[in-house]
């Protein structure tokens, strides 16, 4: 039962959001001013030719700079207005208003106290539930189960719906869940999700739904870099490589995902990295429907090429 939610990060911004350039607007003002001045001189030949646009003290230059800045703000406001109406781009209260169209509101994770503000559901979590919400009318659908699961436990990192096509049991559905950073869910987390997905308007009568923790397939990453003799310092090169490796690891932190050695180690390649030697893991992490690959440590060493 695959989820139908698409990856909105891959959708380009609409053409209605235009690139902003102060220099372009300023150049357009000068060009328009010169054309208007030339037309005025055609009527009044006694007016002087405009040839002082490069002078910083020219009043037209001052006016053009002010005009270009104001127009830049106007166009930025238009761009912001468009973003506020689009789910992939809307943030904070703008996103609250977008999701309200399907009767969803941002959840309170931790209520406010006399000394601390409330901790609210993040934009990323709210957007995920918004996309899943379109299948709410379909009781028993994968996205309906996922919507209810993420609503019951908004901090949940990932969830998967597994049915007969994978486990082979007629009438059974398994909801596999995992916590932030690949941490195992607590008993209370499992109970909250289980109660939500077993509600009478969510689960078909003849279906049995179980909620289980994903199996954590842990591994460590240890790499040795050979870097160029001339260039940034070793610390800079290693830090950049670590950032790329961390991003590759995070991309694979999904239930049922595969973590091939070189999908992660290959991310260490970048500017000034000549070669990468993999110390661990020694084998690919295979994809399993109930399993999630969880990296428990990263070590990157470097040697400078002689």
Q: Predicted confidence band at 57 (pLDDT cuts at 50, 70, 90)?
A: low
* Per-residue confidence (pLDDT) for residue 181, from 0 to 100: 94
Residue with tokens 């949940």: 156
Count of C-beta atoms within a 10 Å radius of residue 194? 17
Helix (H, G, I), strand (E, B) or coil at 221: strand
Higher pLDDT, 108 or 64: 108
Residue 4 has pLDDT above 60, yes or no: no
CA–CA gap between residue 217 and residue 222 (Å, rounded): 17
Query: Residue 115 half-sphere exposure, CB side, CA atoms within 13 Å?
Result: 0
Percentage of the chain beyond pLDDT 70 is 96
The long-range contacts involving 115-118, CB below 8 angstroms and separated by at least 24 positions, are none
User: In the predicted model, what is the mean pLDDT of residues 226-233?
Assistant: 90
Q: 255 or 8: which carries more pLDDT confidence?
A: 255
Q: What is the pLDDT of residues 165-192, one digit of tens each?
A: 999 999 999 999 999 999 999 999 999 9
Give which of 275, 267, 184 is closest to 224, Cα–Cα.
Answer: 275
- Enumerate residues 6+ apart whose C-beta is below 8 A from 263: 248, 252
- For 227, phi then psi, to 5°, come to -115, 160
Instruction: Tell whether the model's pLDDT for residue 157 goes beyond 60.
Output: yes
C-alpha 149/C-alpha 175 separation (Å) is: 9
Check: CB of residue 244 under 8 Å from CB of residue 268: yes
Residue 5: band (very low, low, confident or very high) from pLDDT cuts 50, 70, 90: low
Of 50-64, 96-110, 196-210, which range is least confident?
50-64
In angstroms, rounded to a whole number, what is the distance separating the alpha carbons of residues 2 and 75?
A: 41
Pairing of strands 108-110, 119-120: antiparallel
Q: What is the pLDDT of residue 56?
A: 64
pLDDT at 2 over 50: no
Q: Average pLDDT, stretch 37-59?
A: 81
Domain boundaries, the chain: 22-84, 107-213, 216-304
Contacts of 229 (CB under 8 A, 6+ apart): 304, 305, 306
Question: Residue 55's pLDDT is what?
Answer: 64
Peptide bond into 259 cis (omega under 30): no
In the chain, alpha helices (H):
22-43, 59-84, 92-99, 123-132, 142-152, 164-167, 187-197, 234-251, 261-265
Contact predicate 37/29, CB 8 Å:
no
Tokens standing for residue 21: 């350039």
Residue 223: name the closest of 270, 287, 288 by CA: 270
Question: Averaged over 144-154, what is the pLDDT?
Answer: 96
According to the model, what pLDDT value does residue 1 have?
A: 44
- Helix, strand or coil for residue 121? coil
Query: What confidence tens digit (pLDDT) does each residue in 80-125 have?
Result: 999 999 999 999 999 999 999 999 999 999 999 999 999 999 999 9
Give the mean pLDDT of the chain.
92
User: Quick one: pLDDT at residue 64?
Assistant: 87
**Helix or strand (DSSP H, E) at 85:** none
Q: Which residues 6+ apart lie within 8 Å of 189 measured at CB?
A: 153, 156, 177, 179
Q: 217 forms bridges with which residues in the sheet?
A: 293
């Amino acid at each position: 039962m695959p989820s139908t939610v698409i990856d909105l990060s891959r959708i380009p911004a609409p053409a209605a959001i235009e690139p902003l350039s102060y220099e372009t607007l300023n150049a357009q003002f000068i060009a328009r001013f010169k054309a208007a001045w030339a037309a005025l001189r055609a009527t009044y030949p006694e007016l002087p030719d405009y040839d002082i646009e490069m002078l910083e003290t020219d009043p037209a230059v001052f006016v053009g700079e002010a005009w270009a800045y104001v127009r830049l703000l106007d166009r930025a406001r238009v761009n912001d207005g468009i973003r506020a109406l689009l789910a992939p781009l809307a943030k904070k209260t703008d996103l609250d208003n977008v999701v309200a169209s399907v009767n969803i509101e941002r959840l309170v994770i931790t209520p406010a106290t006399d000394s601390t503000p409330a901790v609210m559901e993040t934009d990323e979590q709210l957007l995920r539930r918004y996309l899943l919400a379109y299948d709410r009318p379909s009781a028993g659908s994968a996205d309906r189960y996922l919507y209810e699961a993420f609503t019951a436990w908004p901090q949940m990192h990932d969830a998967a719906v597994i049915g007969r096509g994978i486990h082979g049991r007629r009438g059974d559905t398994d909801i596999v869940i995992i916590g932030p950073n690949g941490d195992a869910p607590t008993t209370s987390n499992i109970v909250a999700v289980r109660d939500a997905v077993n509600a009478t308007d969510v689960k078909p009568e003849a279906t049995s739904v179980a909620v289980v923790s994903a199996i954590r397939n842990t591994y460590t990453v240890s790499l040795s870099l050979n870097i160029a003799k001339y260039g940034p310092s070793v610390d800079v090169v290693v830090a950049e490589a670590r950032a790329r490796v961390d991003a590759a690891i995070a991309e694979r932190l999904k239930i049922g995902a595969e973590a091939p050695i070189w999908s992660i180690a290959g991310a260490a390649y970048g500017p000034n990295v000549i070669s990468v030697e993999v110390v661990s893991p020694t084998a690919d992490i295979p994809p399993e429907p109930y399993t999630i690959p969880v990296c428990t440590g990263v070590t990157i060493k470097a040697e400078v090429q002689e």
